[in-house]
Amino acid sequence: MGMTIAQKIIKMHLVDGTMEKGTEIGLRMDQTLTQDATGTMAYLEFEAMGVPRVKTERSVAYIDHNTLQSGFENADDHKFIASIAKKHGIYFSKAGNGICHQVHLERFGSPGKTLIGSDSHTPTGGGIGMLAFGAGGLDVAVSMAGGAYYIPMPKMVRINLTGKLSDWVSAKDIILKVLSILTVKGGVGKIIEYAGPGVKTLSVPERATITNMGAELGATTSIFPSDEVTKEFLKAQGREADYKELSSDSDAVYDEEYDIDLSALSPMAAAPHMPDKVKTVEEFGAIKVHQCCIGSCTNSSYYDMMKVASILKGKKVHPDVSLVISPGSKQVMAMLIQNGALYDILSSGARILECTCGPCIGMGQSPGSGEVSLRTFNRNFEGRSGTADAQVYLVSPETAAVSAINGCFTDPRTLGKMQHIKMPGQFLIDDSMILKPAPEGQDVEILRGPNIKPFPIGEPLPENYAGATLLKTGDNITTDHILPAGSKLLPYRSNIPYYSNYCFANVDPDFPKRAKECGGGIIVGGTNYGQGSSREHAALVPLYLGVRAVLAKSFARIHSANLINSGILPLVFSDPSDYDKINQGDELFFPNLKKEVEEGQTITILNKTTGQTIKAESGVSGRQRDIILAGGALGNAKKQS
C-alpha cells in the first residue's frame, strides 16, 4: 500500500511502536527549537537529565517572545539560555534576529527531517516539508537528550488544492477557510497533508502560513510536499544542499479528504474570540477599525511584507488607526531596508516594531477598551491582546493593510489591480546573530539569575484521592485562560511561585487563593480543554497549586501530554453528559485511583456532595501510565536511574 508524506517520514524516524492508528509511537527528532518563554524551563529540565551535549543534528535556542527586558528578569533568563546553549551544543539566535519559526524556516528547515519545538506553531516547518511538532519543554528536553518523542499514531487527512488564488486572496484565507470547515477541534489526532495541483502555485512562505495555523485546528501537524518551489526557496537561502523531493504515493490512503478550489476563495476573517469563527471580509461589513497589526510567525515573511509595502506605497494610514508592523526576521527587515520598501511602509504612517512576536503575545500594543483590532496573527483568544474586551479579528496582511488605510474593515479586492510580488532569487544572508556553541568539552559558566526559581515536581499517585472541584469551566478553554502571558507576566516564566498568582486570572481571579486554601483539588473542563499554546506552565502552575487531576470532555493534544509529564492526571468523562453531575465546590472521591490507573481500568469517581457516581477514562499508554504513577516525567526518570 502506498504511503502519505507523513507516513514516509514517520517510518524513517520510528524508534518505538508500530504505525498503527491511535497506538503510541516514538520518533527520533533530527532538530529541536526553543523560544525564551518556554526555553528556560526546557533547559532546566534538560540540565536535570545530566546529558552533557545535545544528541540532535541541530538544536537552536531563539530569543523572540519577551525581548522588552523591562526588568532584570528577562535579561538574566536570556543570559541563562545563551550560556546553556553554548555549553551543550545548541545554536543561539539572539534577541532581534527574528521569530523562531520564521528564522528556522529561512536558515535551518530541511525537507524530510523531524523537528520538535517548545512552541505550538513549530508545524510552520511543514511548509518546507518537515514533520514538525509543537510540544511542552520537557518533551523537547528529552529529544535534545536523544530520547524519542511520543505521539499517538495520527490519522491522515488530505486537503486537495485545485485552481489558483485570485488577486488579493492569500494563504491566510486558505487556512481560515480550512478552519471554517474543520473548526478548532477538527485536527485533533490528525496530520493534515496538502496536495493537488494548487500546491505548486504557493510559495514556501505561503505554505508556512498554512501549516503554522494547523495548530489552531488542533492538528498533530501539517505538511506540504517538497518540490521545485521548495528547491528554489532553499537555493535562494544558499541551502540547496538541504533539498530533498517529497511527495505522497499515488495510492496513499487517507482517513479524510477535502477539496478546496483556490480560485473560488474570497478574503476571510475570524471574528472574536476564536480562530474558527470565520466569515468572508465582505460579510463582516465596514466595521470601524482602531488598530491593525501585521506580523507574527503566521504572516511576517519577506513576501508578506512586500505585499503590504506595495499597498501602503504613496498612501496614508487613516488618522484614527494605529498600524503596527513587525517583520519576522532580521533577514526580512534588512531586505526591506535595502530595496526601499521600508520607506514606503514608514511613510504611510505605520509604526515599525522589532522582529519579534510582539503584540501577538500581548507584549505591548494592547488595543484600547472595546476597540477593534485586525491582526494577521493566528490566535484571537479573549484577553490575549492584553485588553479583556478588545475585539480581535484575524485577517490576511492584504486585508489588514487596506483596512488601515480606509479606517474600516475593507475587502482588499476593492483596490483593483494587484501588483504581483516575486520571490527573490537570493535572500540576504547574514547569520551573525546566530551564535555557534562552544566546542565540546570547553568550560562554560552557566549564568543563573535570581528570577530562576525551582520548579515543582509531582508526587507519586496515591491509592485513593479526595479533593474539591476547584473550578468548573466551559468548552475550548485555552492555555491563555489557564495561564495568561503578556508583558506583565512573561518575565516570570522561570518563577512558578510568582506566576501561580495569575492562574485562571481572566476566568476566576480567586482560583489560586481557593486552590491553596483547599490544599489542591480537581479542575472540571468541557471539550478541547487546554487548546492553544504549548506552554507547560499551564500544567506546572496548577501542579504547584496542588491540582491532582483534570476531568474534561476532551483535551487538546499538547496540553494533555504536558499534564501527564507534570504528574497531573487528565481524565475524560466516559459519558460526556456526566459533566452536569459535578458543580464547582463539589467534593470528589476516587476510591481506587492507583489500582484503576495501574490496571488501565475505568476510573470511579464519587461525588460526595451529591451522592452520584461518575466514570472516567484515563486513556493513557503504558509509558504514560508509568509517568503518572511516578508523579511526572522527571520523577519517573529519577525512579528509573
Site residues (CB under 6 A) for ligand MIC? 37-38, 65, 119-121, 134, 361, 485, 532-535
Work out what residue 437 binds among ligand SF4, ligand MIC, none; the CB cut-off runs from 5 to 8 Å by kind.
none
Work out what residue 211 binds among ligand SF4, ligand MIC, none; the CB cut-off runs from 5 to 8 Å by kind.
none
534 lies in the binding site for ligand SF4 (CB under 6 A): no
114-117 and 131-134: which strand pairing? parallel
Least distance to ligand MIC from the beta carbon of 115, Å? 14
DSSP 8-state symbol, 493? T
**Would you mind telling me the total number of residues written for the chain in this entry?**
641
**Active-site residue 239, yes or no?**
no
| Beta sheet of 351-352, edge-to-edge order | 278-280, 268-270, 391-394, 372-375, 291-294, 322-325, 351-352
Could you say which of 121, 273, 535, 537 is catalytic? Answer: 535
Least distance to ligand SF4 from the beta carbon of 261, Å? 29
Least distance to ligand SF4 from the beta carbon of 124, Å? 8
The region that residue 16 occupies, defined by phi over 0 for left and psi between -120 and 50 for alpha, beta otherwise, is beta
User: Which of 5, 208, 312, 360 contacts ligand SF4 by CB under 6 A?
Assistant: 360
547-552 and 149-152: which strand pairing? unpaired
User: Which of 82, 192, 361, 582 contacts ligand SF4 by CB under 6 A?
Assistant: 361
Q: Angle at the Cα of 297 (from 295 to 303), degrees rounded to 5?
A: 65
Task: Give the largest Cα separation in the chain, rounded.
Answer: 72
Could you say which of 30, 36, 64, 586 is catalytic? Answer: 64
149-152 and 391-394: which strand pairing? unpaired
Work out what residue 99 binds among ligand SF4, ligand MIC, none; the CB cut-off runs from 5 to 8 Å by kind.
ligand SF4
Least distance to ligand MIC from the beta carbon of 37, Å? 3
Least distance to ligand SF4 from the beta carbon of 267, Å? 21
581 phi and psi angles, rounded to 5 deg: -85, 0
Work out what residue 410 binds among ligand SF4, ligand MIC, none; the CB cut-off runs from 5 to 8 Å by kind.
none
User: What is the end-to-end Cα distance of the chain in Å, rounded?
Assistant: 42
**Active-site residue 65, yes or no?**
yes
* Nearest residue to ligand MIC, scored by beta-carbon proximity: 533
Q: Which residues contact 50 (CB under 8 A, 6 or more apart)?
A: none
Could you say which of 13, 65, 207, 537 is catalytic? Answer: 65
- Which C-beta is closer to ligand SF4: that of 120 or that of 403? 120
- Which C-beta is closer to ligand MIC: that of 37 or that of 306? 37
Q: Provide the Cα torsion 163, 167, 168, 169; round to 10°.
A: 0
296 lies in the binding site for ligand SF4 (CB under 6 A): yes
Helix, strand, or coil here: 548?
strand
Least distance to ligand MIC from the beta carbon of 169, Å? 25
Least distance to ligand MIC from the beta carbon of 361, Å? 5
Using the CB atoms, write b or e for 161-187: b if 16+ within 10 Å.
Answer: beeebbebbbbbbbbbbbbbebbbbbb
102 lies in the binding site for ligand SF4 (CB under 6 A): no
11 within 8 A of 25, measured Cβ to Cβ: no
- Which C-beta is closer to ligand SF4: that of 357 or that of 551? 357
- Which C-beta is closer to ligand MIC: that of 237 or that of 533? 533
Binding residues among 56-75 for ligand SF4 as defined by CB under 6 A: 65
The rounded radius of gyration (Å) of the Cα atoms in the chain is: 24
Least distance to ligand MIC from the beta carbon of 215, Å? 7
**Active-site residue 203, yes or no?**
no
- Which C-beta is closer to ligand MIC: that of 371 or that of 480? 480
Work out what residue 296 binds among ligand SF4, ligand MIC, none; the CB cut-off runs from 5 to 8 Å by kind.
ligand SF4
User: Which of 31, 378, 399, 527 contacts ligand SF4 by CB under 6 A?
Assistant: 378
User: Which of 10, 54, 99, 434 contacts ligand SF4 by CB under 6 A?
Assistant: 99
Q: Which residues contact 445 (CB under 8 A, 6 or more apart)?
A: 83
76 within 8 A of 114, measured Cβ to Cβ: no
Q: What single string gives the DSSP state of each residue in 19-70?
A: --TTSEEEE--SEEEE-HHHHHHHHHHHHHTT-SS--SSEEEEE--S-----
Could you say which of 76, 77, 119, 173 is catalytic? Answer: 119
- Which C-beta is closer to ligand MIC: that of 39 or that of 635? 39
Least distance to ligand MIC from the beta carbon of 95, Å? 15
Q: Which residue has the cell 521600508?
A: 342
- Which C-beta is closer to ligand MIC: that of 260 or that of 353? 353
Q: Which residue has the cell 491566510?
A: 172
**Active-site residue 379, yes or no?**
yes
Q: Which residues bind ligand SF4 (CB under 6 A)?
A: 65, 99, 119, 121, 296-297, 357, 360-361, 377-378
Active-site residues: which are they?
Answer: 64-65, 119, 379, 533, 535
